[in-house]
Chain A
């Protein structure tokens, strides 16, 4: 339809054009004829002007006539040439042209002669030449030729006018018809086009939409996407591609893909470009080809590429999804290294049996430690059920299965129990079974680590036994204290009581030897009683519960001094003290310590007046350091440690009475309260006993 409309219009156009060309032609010929006539007319005027101006000069001698004459000469030449060229197509006219030219030349020659005669011979001679009629003759002849040519042209004009008129009519008719037809067809075509183009606009929009969608998809893709044509040029890309390769979009468009993926891509392009879409679909991400990409700055990085052909009006394009797998590669490498080192560690571990069990409990692998501990070689045990490591009674109790169930349920199972070696011997094992699960949580099997702790077990048993023995021995020691306090004291009390009774009833009634003997017996009994009582105090000082509470140090000292009232009174000692702190400790025991130390200070003194001073300072830590300073005998440095040991004495009984237990008790008490005791002393000058106690009473 549209084609026929165009054809019709073309035909109409062609005819019209042709008509117009022809009509134009006719018109031009008419114009041409008119032009020739005008030029002929001008030529005649030039001739008449030349004749009149030359004659005028001859008659008047006025020079301005000569100026016009010269201008007429020039104009004559021009019009002659014009007529000649205008009538070149007309042979009849051309035949007249030489006659016309000769007459014009004769006229000019005659006029020049007249002007020459006028100048040279004057008016008379010139008038004579003019009156002989030669000039008139030339002009008449010229007019005759002119008329002939004019008539020819006029005839042509009449002819051409008629033809032009006829052509014009035809052209008009054609044009009207053609335009009418053209309008008709155009209307039809326009209707068609209108219908067509609305359809086409719809299709265009759909195409645009789908392209837009494609671009949207491309931009939304998490990977770099590059679309490449068959010659390897990038025609489309997304923002990830810009980022990944460090180029701006316009830098990449039209670039060869080889610039960003130097190797492998082009080859794949050939291979994958021919692949079907279905084949490409079957390939999953992660199974793509691994290549390396190159950034704008020249750095190369590992990539994974998925290719997919994309058919398009311009041919087959290839869409490439490019993923930067630097991190994955690094993770893979780290994993590989860690797996390798794990494997090395596991296989070289000798002290631990490390093995994997499958879901059923069969041994999957076996390390050197397992072989060493259990005695099986890998090839003997792999595939065997791990219950072969258990004693028979445990197998019949179903322990192996229960342990796996527990490990599967809780994730981990731990056990310390007897296990069996290949040779049947038992060893005490520490076992950890760990459930091995996939990321999905699916149970894959179990890891089992076994350690031979038989030695440790023996050691522990030995330790328990030793502790038990120690406890018993301690109990016996405690018992000894009680024995000393009661059972030992009981017979002694009898001896003492009756020797004393003997002494009171019979002193002076027997001989003097008997009195002496009784005295020694009484003295021995008294000493032994003192010893037993001190020993009892010593053994008690370690057995009572610690009664820790905050007490006043001053009160404790006061109580100790009250207990020593008799001693202090007898010796005339002066006991002074600084202010003492409150401290969290066992009051009874602290009183005992003060009492023993102050008692000693007074006892071991040679001065007339024993001087004792008690004070306390706090040290850097949380300790109070109490001191008891005396002006007594002093102690030699080599005895500084020894004096705190039970029964150790520095003086004979004749000098000072004592059992050698007092300081041992102090040491035992102070250490039990978490403190320390020591002495500083100078012989003959005095001693200072120090003891440090924690401020809070805690160890």
Chain B
């Protein structure tokens, strides 16, 4: 059964995988003005992200995210590995993954798309640019596109 996200009363679950508290805060600030109700979960490294997605340990009751914002350069488990594991998992691979990173390297871009990243965004260096990008994500991924509604297991 498909439903419009925008008209759903329940909030949209977004997992932000980001080690920089500054960026987490900035993202949170940017989402404040979002059109939909967003529930932002944060994992500060790759291992934690996989634990959240696998509902391990303290994340037993963690929701399945509707969108994942993934940084590439992370402690413990690298963002690239996280992406690979998500896209290899039959249950997780339908979740859109937006790479949001400071890296502008062609290598990283190519590799990410090969691992089936849904899009790749380089963090703008200035605040205005950053806010604009987050707003775009909000607008596009959380309002414009239709996301699959998965039955939670």
Contact surface of A with B, Cβ cutoff 8 Å: 485-486, 489-490, 492-494, 496-498, 500-501, 504, 526, 529, 533
Contacts and interface: CB of A to CB of B under 8 A. Distances in A.
Contacts of A489: 102, 125
Nearest to B101: A486
A488 to B, nearest CB: 10
A486 B125 contact: no
- Most-contacted residue by chain A among B20, B22, B105, B125 (CB, 10 A): B125
A602 B120 CA distance: 34
Interface of B: 20, 22-23, 26, 29, 73, 102-105, 123, 125-128, 130
Given A486-B102, A497-B26, 11 more contacts: A489-B125, A492-B125, A493-B102, A493-B123, A494-B23, A496-B125, A496-B126, A497-B127, A504-B127, A526-B126, A529-B125
A496 B125 CA distance: 8
B125 A493 contact: yes
14 contacts: A486-B73, A486-B102, A489-B102, A490-B102, A494-B20, A494-B22, A496-B126, A497-B22, A497-B127, A497-B130, A498-B22, A500-B126, A526-B126, A529-B125
A493 B127 CA distance: 8
A530 to B, nearest CB: 10
Nearest to A493: B125
B75 to A, nearest CB: 13
B126 to A, nearest CB: 6
Contacts of A501: 26, 29, 127
Contacts of B23: 494
A498 B125 CA distance: 11
Given A485-B104, A490-B102, A496 B73 contact: no
Given A486-B103, A497-B22, A529 B127 contact: no
Query: Which 5 pairs of residues, A with B, have the shortest CB-CB distance?
Result: A500-B127, A494-B22, A497-B127, A529-B125, A493-B125
Contacts of B126: 496-497, 500, 526, 529
Contacts of A485: 103-105
A486 to B, nearest CB: 5
Nearest to B106: A544
B22 A496 contact: no
A529 B129 CA distance: 14
A97 to B, nearest CB: 175
Nearest to B104: A485
Contacts of B104: 485
Contact of B20 (A490, A492, A504): A490
A533 B102 CA distance: 12
A489 B104 CA distance: 12
Contacts of B20: 490, 494
In this complex, which of A485, A496, A497, A533 has the most chain B Cβ atoms within 10 angstroms of its Cβ? A497
A529 B103 CA distance: 15
A498 B126 CA distance: 10
B111 to A, nearest CB: 15
Nearest to A500: B127
B27 to A, nearest CB: 11
